[in-house]
């Protein structure tokens, strides 16, 4: 059950949008497709909805092969980044559209539409036109419209991408709650890792038309399969072949055989968190994330020499015995951890 895609391929001219992509989305889950623009995440979502034909591959929705089916018969609810509101229809008629196509009688339609408008907190605005709504209201209307026909799966393509930061955060919380209530299998596409981790239980990280890794937010953060995932799901410093998260950069004042010398260039205090920027002897620029208390204990000053001890570093070099290859999506959990040698 749920959604599965197997061996999906799609080319647009010379551009390989999807390169042998397979994903499994468990029934009732809320899954994020995360990746930079051009990574193929939207193409994959549209292929699941039937809005894009695959060159090869199989799409299965709730156990049924949907590959050749037109969008109108797939039973999916789709929400577009730019709302795709029917501009010539009122909010009511927008939400009622799918029900009218299914020839519901007027009384039942009205009841269902008002239920949904209440759910998305637009019940007072049924008679408005989309042009009279804010971006956030339009997107909630689009969501109500998609949910009206009781879809088997809900697909959202960068649903908050066109909204400002405050509204985006509100809608995020709201979407998560809505999913907890409705339990409809949901996939949403985003390029914002924070948004993905905040909303979704499962994440699929995509890059250049391929799936790099899938798992929970914790799994991806703690045990990234490769350099791309590591740098995409969080901040990262590169020390030679090793990658270290800024909060794993320990700063000490006395050198030993595991430390590296660095010149403190800048100290930025961001409330509780402190950002210390250093330049290493080979010119590499790195930064460490400390707490206020740690900074005070060390009495660091800009322009002084300090010593870095990476507490946890990862290497994704295939030749190193303590690392795992990029092709292993759920790689062994501690395989990538390594101590960084003092000399780089």
Partner 1 sequence: MSANPASRWGLRVLGLGYLTMLLLIPLVMIFFKTFEEGIGPPIDAITSPDGLHALKLTLLMVAIAVPLNTIFGVACALLLVRHKSKANGVIDAIINLPFAVSPIVIGLSLFLLYGTDGWLGFLADNGIKILFSVPGMVLASIFVSLPFVVRETVPVLQEIGTDQELAASTLGANGWQTFWKITLPSIRWGVAYGVVLTTARVLGEFGAVTIVSGSISGQTQTLPLFVEKQYANFNSPGAYGAALVLALLALITLFAMNLLKRKEDA
Q: Are 24 and 6 in contact (CB under 8 A)?
A: no
Instruction: Give the CA dihedral 287, 288, 290, 295, nearest 10 degrees.
Output: -70
Q: Choose which of 2, 35, 40, 77 interacts with partner 1 (CB under 8 A).
A: 77
Q: Choose which of 6, 26, 60, 84 interacts with partner 1 (CB under 8 A).
A: 84
CA–CA separation, 315 and 107 (whole Å)? 63
Q: Based on CB atoms, which residue is closest to partner 1, 101 or 253?
A: 101
- Asked if 78 interacts with partner 1 (CB under 8 A), we say yes
Q: Choose which of 60, 86, 115, 295 interacts with partner 1 (CB under 8 A).
A: 86
Binding mask 124-153 for partner 1 (x = CB under 8 A): ------------------x--xx-xx----
Q: Based on CB atoms, which residue is closest to partner 1, 82 or 333?
A: 82
Closest CA to 6 of 78, 73, 64, 56: 56
Please enumerate in sequence order all residues whose Cβ is within 8 A of that of 228, keeping only pairs 6 or more positions apart, or say none.
205, 207, 212, 326
Q: Based on CB atoms, which residue is closest to partner 1, 32 or 79?
A: 79
Q: Choose which of 25, 51, 187, 230 interacts with partner 1 (CB under 8 A).
A: 51
Closest CA to 181 of 111, 118, 107, 96: 118
CA–CA separation, 80 and 59 (whole Å)? 20
Question: At its nearest, how many Å lie between partner 1 and the CB of residue 79?
Answer: 9
- Asked if 85 interacts with partner 1 (CB under 8 A), we say yes
H or E stretch covering 310 = strand 305-310
Q: Based on CB atoms, which residue is closest to partner 1, 32 or 45?
A: 45
Only one of the segments 43-51, 260-268, 272-280, 322-330 lies at the binding site for partner 1 (rule: CB under 8 A); that segment is 43-51
Question: At its nearest, how many Å lie between partner 1 and the CB of residue 101?
Answer: 5
**With the C-alpha atoms ordered 163, 24, 181, 103, is the resulting torsion angle positive or negative?**
positive
Q: Choose which of 7, 68, 70, 127 interacts with partner 1 (CB under 8 A).
A: 70
Q: Are 311 and 250 in contact (CB under 8 A)?
A: yes
Only one of the segments 26-34, 84-92, 109-117, 273-281 lies at the binding site for partner 1 (rule: CB under 8 A); that segment is 84-92
Only one of the segments 67-75, 165-173, 276-284, 296-304 lies at the binding site for partner 1 (rule: CB under 8 A); that segment is 67-75
Q: How far is CA 55 from the centre of its chain?
A: 25
Q: Choose which of 82, 106, 177, 266 interacts with partner 1 (CB under 8 A).
A: 82
Helix or strand or coil: residue 65? strand
Kindly state the tokens that stand for 297.
Answer: 């204990």
Q: Based on CB atoms, which residue is closest to partner 1, 72 or 173?
A: 72
Q: Based on CB atoms, which residue is closest to partner 1, 99 or 306?
A: 99
Kindly state the tokens that stand for 157.
Answer: 């393509």
3-state helix, strand, coil in the chain (%, to 5): 30, 30, 40
Axis crossing angle, helix 135-148 with helix 165-182, rounded to the nearest 10: 20
- Asked if 101 interacts with partner 1 (CB under 8 A), we say yes
Interacting residues with partner 1 (CB under 8 A)? 49-51, 70-74, 76-78, 80, 82-88, 97-98, 101-102, 142, 145-146, 148-149
């Amino acid at each position: 059950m749920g959604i599965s895609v197997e061996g999906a391929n799609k080319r647009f001219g010379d551009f390989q949008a999807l390169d042998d992509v397979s994903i499994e989305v468990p029934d009732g889950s809320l899954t994020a497709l995360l990746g930079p623009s051009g990574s193929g995440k939207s193409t994959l979502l549209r292929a699941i909805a039937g809005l894009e034909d695959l060159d090869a591959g199989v799409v299965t929705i709730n156990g049924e092969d949907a590959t050749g089916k037109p969008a109108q018969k797939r039973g999916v609810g789709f929400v577009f980044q730019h709302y795709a509101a029917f501009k010539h229809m009122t909010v009511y008629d927008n939400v009622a559209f799918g029900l009218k196509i299914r020839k519901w009688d007027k009384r039942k339609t009205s009841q269902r539409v008002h239920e949904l408008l209440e759910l998305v907190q637009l019940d007072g605005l049924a008679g408005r036109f989309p042009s009279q709504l804010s971006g956030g209201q339009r997107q909630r209307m689009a969501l109500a419209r998609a949910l009206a026909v009781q879809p088997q799966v809900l697909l959202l393509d960068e649903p908050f991408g066109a909204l400002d930061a405050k509204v985006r955060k509100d809608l995020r919380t709201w979407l998560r709650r809505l999913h907890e209530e409705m339990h409809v299998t949901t996939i949403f596409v985003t390029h914002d890792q924070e948004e993905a981790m905040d909303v979704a239980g499962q994440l699929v990280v995509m890059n250049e038309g391929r799936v790099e890794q899938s798992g929970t937010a914790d799994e991806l953060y703690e045990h990234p399969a490769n350099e791309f995932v590591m740098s995409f799901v969080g901040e990262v410093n590169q020390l030679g072949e090793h990658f270290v998260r800024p909060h794993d950069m320990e700063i000490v004042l006395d050198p030993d055989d595991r430390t590296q010398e660095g010149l403190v260039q800048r100290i930025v205090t961001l409330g509780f968190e402190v950002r210390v920027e250093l330049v290493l002897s080979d010119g590499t620029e790195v930064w460490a994330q400390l707490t206020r208390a740690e900074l005070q204990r060390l009495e660091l000053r800009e322009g002084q020499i300090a010593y870095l001890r990476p507490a946890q570093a990862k290497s994704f070099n295939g030749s190193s015995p303590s690392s795992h290859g990029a092709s292993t999506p759920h790689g062994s959990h501690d395989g990538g951890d390594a101590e960084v040698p003092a000399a780089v």
